[in-house]
Structure 1
Amino acid sequence: MLENDGAGPVPGVSADGWLADTRRSYDTVAGSYADFVRGSLEQQPYLRAALALFADLVHTAGGGPVADVGCGPGHVTARLRQLGVDAFGIDLSPAMIDVARRDHPGLRFAVGSMTDLPLADASAAAVLAFWSLIHVPDDEIPAVFGHFHRVLRPGGLVLAGFHVGDGSRLKTEGYGGHPMNVYVHRRRPDRVAHWLRDAGFTVDAQMVFGPDDSVPGAVIIAHR
């Protein structure tokens, strides 16, 4: 999920209740968030290129089901399907899943959490976490990457996209002025790559987008 305005700096972050806060926040903004991201990929050629590369790597590895974890309203899931990938979406927010099913009725979506990923071991060809890690506290990331590793087949791919930077900010409002209560975490690519390696992945590529922007983005592609 992408960050919008309405965030302010905080001196520290507590993980207590973050899943419930994230679910409630995105249930509240589901419709307006879908409007916010609709067509956004058309304005971001480098992110489109990263998704096309990811899709090509999935095809080269033999294809198979690809989990878009934290899929939100399903716009990236739909892009992967346009690229010929057997993608399906999982999101913590039931309201987001309702919007995804409404906007993309031919695709598969389910409610679920990346902290307890409802997929069988070695059942996925790839996992996509497209700006869906930004609300996950640091101490939960190793477990999340452990779930990614568990559900991937040997050689399976993971793409993680995230905000680049340091520290965390509390987001209390966004997407049409609706109330939210989520922390937004910014991270350095080398740190995310370290977590991936510790979870058993080999890092294949790191890309930074908009390095001169106030909040750059990054994508890391790795394989099991």
Structure 2
Amino acid sequence: MRVPGWLDDTRTSYNTVAVSYADLLRDALAGEPFQRGILALFAELVRAQGNGPVGDAGCGPGRITAYLQGIGLDAFGVDLSPAMIDIARRDHPGLRFEVGSMTSLELADGSLTGLLAWFSLIHVPDDEVPTVFAEFFRVLRPGGILLLGFHAGEGSKLKTEGYGGHPMNVYVHRRSPARVATWLDAAGFTVEAEMVHHPAPNVEGAFVFAHR
């Protein structure tokens, strides 16, 4: 679906919820063994390519960036929301965080060994996904590893509040792994694995690994 103004709406919404979002999710990985295992696999695949810089696209307050750094990757984060980046820099002062959009990354061609989009594609409309995946392909070096985490399923829903009841105005898009894999194939990626996780009743998360 086409969502006019989605970048501005996403930026404004996450600026609004940044503090509550960071507080609610700060320690969430401690209770998510499947997610930790998937991140560990990502790290192993990056190391097999010789290590090198790893980008966390849509990093929010930096919790996943910091976790990747803690398990041995040279990770940095990029996020659309300046408020999120302020929190990431405050909470993880030794790491690099920059404001930016995954639709136009300020990174050199082939400069990354790994790239992660951890539930940050969920607000990207269908017609913008090819642009985002083209950027991911551009900044990864040959053999570079891509990991996507997203909400599985079908359809889109407008989210008008969240993370403590703060106002938001973003669409949440659910996609099947097969659909995402088709977009990745079209962008030139080789898809290596598609997984669906059921962390709670009627909740599905999906993970796709691919490489350039």
Interval of TM-score (by shorter of Structure 1 and Structure 2): over 0.9
Partner of 2:25 in structure 1? 37
CA displacement 1:172-213 (0-9 Å, x = unmatched): 001111100000000000000010111000011111110773
Matched, 1:222 2:210: yes
Instruction: From 22, 36, 41, give the equivalent of 1:53.
Output: 41
Alignment of 1:91-170 (within 5 A): 91-170=79-158
Q: How far 1:117 sits from its partner (Å)? A: 1.0
Aligned to 2:164: 176
Q: Which residue type is aligned with residue 177 of structure 2?
A: P
Distance 2:8 2:17 in 1: 14
Mapped to 2, the partners of 1:42 and 1:211 lie a distance apart of 14
CA offsets 1:27-75 (integer angstroms, 9 cap, x no match): 0000000011111011110010000000011111100000000000000
Query: RMSD value over aligned CA atoms?
Result: 1.0
> In the aligned structure 2, how far is the partner of 1:17 from the partner of 1:202?
31
Query: Does the CA contact (< 8 Å) of 1:135 and 1:185 recur in 2?
Result: yes
Aligned residue-pair number: 212
2:2–2:127 contact (8 Å) kept in structure 1: no
Distance 1:68 1:105 in 2: 16
1: CA distance, partners of 2:172 / 2:23? 20
Counterpart CA distance in 2 for 1:18 and 1:200 is 26
Query: Equivalences for 1:5-84 in 2 at 5 Å?
Result: 13-84=1-72
Instruction: Give the Cα–Cα distance (whole angstroms) in 2 for the partners of residues 151 and 59 of structure 1.
Output: 18
Give the CA deviation at 1:125.
Answer: 0.6
Task: State the Cα deviation string for residues 107-147 of structure 1 (Å, max 9, x = none).
Answer: 00000000111111011111100000000000100110000
Give the Cα–Cα distance (whole angstroms) in 2 for the partners of residues 84 and 160 of structure 1. Answer: 19
Residue 189 of structure 2 corresponds to residue 205 of structure 1:
no
Q: Which residue of 1 aligns with 2:77?
A: 89
- Secondary structure of the residue that 1:116 maps to in structure 2? coil
SS at match of 1:205: strand
Q: TM-score if structure 2 supplies the norm length? A: 0.98
Structure 1 residue ranges without an equivalent (≥5): 1-12
* In 2, Cα distance between equivalents of 1:143 and 1:16: 15
| TM-score (normalised: structure 1) | 0.93
Kept in 2, the 8 Å contact 1:165–1:215? The answer is no
Structure 2 residue runs without a partner (length 5+): none
CA 1:211–1:35: 2 relative to 1, 3 Å: closer
Q: Which amino acid aligns with 1:48?
A: R
Q: What residue identity is the alignment partner of 1:209? A: H
**1:215 shift after superposition:** 2.5
Identity %: 66
